[in-house]
Structure 1
């Protein structure tokens, strides 16, 4: 870890719970309760330890809370992206995957896949897009449409954990 990451973790570990939540409440998309529940695991000796505490808060949540967390994620290249209402983190992540550069045909394919996924599972497709192309993302949606609901629910939570890891490292490392 870098000295700046050590200092950031030390500072985070000393924050009050409301200040901690204000700083990390968006690591898990629109779900500050994850940061709130992980605050008790302080002090955090590493970014990985902080991430583990946050993932534990997510996995120990009720199924209804987990479903709400999954549903808090925006549809990829969906109406929030088109209207400019994505969070800054989601905007950067989707842009990094080239989702803002889809041709009309690609956008139609992606929206059709998103709709089929939403209809099948009742929640949006969630994937950590960092390091993936828009083509890999569309292929992943097609492949994951074959999963059963229980497997897909667990897969989404795993992807959310990975998104959170990327966000924590971007913020603190």
Structure 2
């Protein structure tokens, strides 16, 4: 027999006061339109309903919101100092050789010059070489094609971060929710 009750992490998220929920969502994605849309659709009965709402909100991001979301991400190979989430998400670059790190810096700069924003990719589980190959391949895209790829990659990142947010320790209460929000910080 399956339970129809809301999972504990999702129940905590649903019960957060508006300002706390908004702060937690902002840590997942810096796009205000995305956060507001997810906030107003609460409560969620299942994690899948939350993920579906995230995907729908991502599809409707304005160009300005997409820019804000991208601005919340550090370049691949240069996670924010002291940010364990950023370091974890970019762990494929952590042990990269100096030559690969230097190449990624050059590629990141070329990408940013071409498209006007940081190279955004769901780096979780990818090696440094895979990240390098991806930026090389995407440098040839049109700006329109690249914007759609960025939207898709951002959606993948958001799903991973939302899952982490919902997995926060149920016994630690709202303090754990704040920690989970901090753990969902930008890569």
Q: TM-score, normalised by structure 1?
A: 0.84
Residue equivalent to 1:48: 48
Matched, 1:108 2:102: yes
* Structure 2 Cα separation of the partners of residues 134 and 5 of structure 1: 38
Alignment of 1:109-124 (within 5 A): 109-124=103-118
- Change over 3 Å in CA distance of 1:2–1:147 after alignment to 2: farther
* Structure 1 Cα separation of the partners of residues 3 and 164 of structure 2: 13
- Change over 3 Å in CA distance of 1:24–1:65 after alignment to 2: closer
Aligned partner (choices 129, 139, 143) of residue 135 of structure 1: 129
- Change over 3 Å in CA distance of 1:2–1:157 after alignment to 2: farther
Aligned partner (choices 148, 153, 156) of residue 154 of structure 1: 148
Residue equivalent to 2:7: 6
1:23-51 per-position Cα deviation (integer Å, ceiling 9, x unaligned): 332111x4455323311111212222112
Task: With a CA cutoff of 8 Å and minimum separation of 6, indicate the structure with the bigger relative contact order.
Answer: 2
- Change over 3 Å in CA distance of 1:5–1:142 after alignment to 2: farther
* Structure 2 Cα separation of the partners of residues 157 and 61 of structure 1: 9
**Where in structure 1 are there 5+ consecutive unaligned residues?**
none
* Structure 1 Cα separation of the partners of residues 135 and 47 of structure 2: 30
- Across the aligned residues of Structure 1 and Structure 2, the Cα RMSD in angstroms comes to 2.4
C-alpha displacement of 1:88 = 3.2
Report how many residues are paired.
166
Residue equivalent to 2:81: 84
User: What secondary structure sits across from 1:12 in the alignment?
Assistant: helix
Q: Are the equivalent residues in 2 in contact too, given 1:21–1:36 (CA < 8 A)?
A: yes
Residue equivalent to 2:73: 73
- Change over 3 Å in CA distance of 1:126–1:5 after alignment to 2: farther
1:102-146 per-position Cα deviation (integer Å, ceiling 9, x unaligned): 211111111111111111111111111112111111001111111
- Change over 3 Å in CA distance of 1:117–1:84 after alignment to 2: same
* Structure 2 Cα separation of the partners of residues 5 and 59 of structure 1: 26
C-alpha displacement of 1:170 = 2.4
